[in-house]
Amino acid sequence: MIDVERLLILREVARHGSKAAAARAMGLSEPTVAHHLNALERRAGVPLTRRVGRFTKLTSAGEALLEHANVIAASLEGAERTLHRHADLNVGRLRIAAFQSYCAGVLPGPLAQFARTYPGIEVGLVETETDDALALMRAGDADLVIGFADNATPPPTDVPVRPLDRDEYLVVLPDSHEQAKRKRVDIAELAGERWISGCSRCRAHLTAHAADAGFSPDVAFVTEDYVTVQKLIAEGLGVAILPSMALGASPAVPGIVTARTKPASYREVFLSVPLDAAPAAQAFASLLVAGR
């Protein structure tokens, strides 16, 4: 079998044009380089180099072997990068910023899996709204963001974005409401209701959705706590549009019903990781994407 080290020496001679220059680049002596080239030629059974003035050039056989040496060198470099990534994942930290309902409903499972796989990584989590999470990442205070976007608030364009999930908005009504038995509720028929809204992106979605239906919502209460929203609705104090992910992450609240909206509307859950992200952020992003 051909010695890999000797192939790499042949590659350096081809790159630098002489045995002496290749020896300097590799931290070897020129006699050592010459010895390995001679041994490689004996193994090959044909000349691999030739002298042209002060330079060492490859023969046609040497050029053919060089192609294989380049492939092997690239593979070894890739293997080294992989090992470095694993070494970096033995210690370090990962700072995640994500919105509330994703934190409550989806994130615990992937976090536990990551902790089992990389126990040396210290993980920090900030539960915050999407705009604030993106601001943290831009400032270097978060390594990875999980946010959401919809027709009213599109995803950012200045950072890399990958889709993770699609989450439908549902209308939430008191169970005594005249529309409570419908599987789909036309938003236009709720124009005269008092509304309960939450975060800035949720309010923007409600406003845009209502505008499409021809009215401006009368927002009577604003709270970012999904359980509070549902309890206010159960008391007959208003109606709301909530993401199904938020409803699924909340404990059941008696006295309310949910229905799909007409027309239907959705938010897109996305993942954002900087191009120069640390290995821990890249590993966690890969875990999330694989688990979609």
Least reliable range by pLDDT among 21-25, 59-63, 99-103, 125-129: 21-25
Identify the three-state secondary structure at position 169.
Answer: strand
Percent of the chain at pLDDT exceeding 70: 97
The C-alpha atoms of residue 216 and residue 183 are separated, in whole angstroms, by 24
Please report the beta strands in 177-253, taking only residues with DSSP state E, as ranges in sequence order: 184-186, 194-197, 218-222, 240-243
DSSP string, 4-50: HHHHHHHHHHHHHSSHHHHHHHHT--HHHHHHHHHHHHHHHTS--EE
Which tens digit of pLDDT belongs to each residue from 128-175?
999 999 999 998 889 999 999 998 888 999 999 999 999 999 999 999
Which secondary structure element, helix H or strand E, spans residue 166, and what is its range? Answer: strand 162-174
Mean of the per-residue pLDDT values of the chain = 89
How many whole angstroms from its chain centre is CA 69?
35
Burial class (CB in 10 A: 0-12, 13-18, 19+), 274: middle
- Predicted pLDDT of residue 77: 77
Q: Which amino acid is at 117?
A: T
Domains and CATH numbers, the chain: 4-88 (1.10.10.10), 92-165+269-290 (3.40.190.10), 168-265 (3.40.190.10)
Which tens digit of pLDDT belongs to each residue from 224-270?
899 999 999 999 999 999 999 999 988 899 999 999 998 899 999 99
Percent of the chain at pLDDT exceeding 90: 57
How many whole angstroms from its chain centre is CA 76?
27
Least reliable range by pLDDT among 57-61, 161-165, 183-187: 57-61
Nearest to 41 by CA among 73, 65, 24: 65
CA dihedral 213, 218, 222, 224 (to 10 degrees): -10
Contact (Cβ atoms closer than 8 angstroms) between residue 237 and residue 220: yes
- Predicted pLDDT of residue 223: 93
Task: Read off the pLDDT band of 218 (50, 70, 90).
Answer: very high
For 235-282, what is the HEC assignment?
CCCCEEEEEHHHHHHCCCCCCEEEEEEECCCEEEEEEECCCCCCHHHH
- Predicted pLDDT of residue 95: 93
Task: Read off the pLDDT band of 88 (50, 70, 90).
Answer: low
- Predicted pLDDT of residue 83: 58
What average pLDDT does the segment 186-213 reach?
A: 92
| Selected residue with higher pLDDT from 267 and 32 | 267
What average pLDDT does the segment 26-43 reach?
A: 86
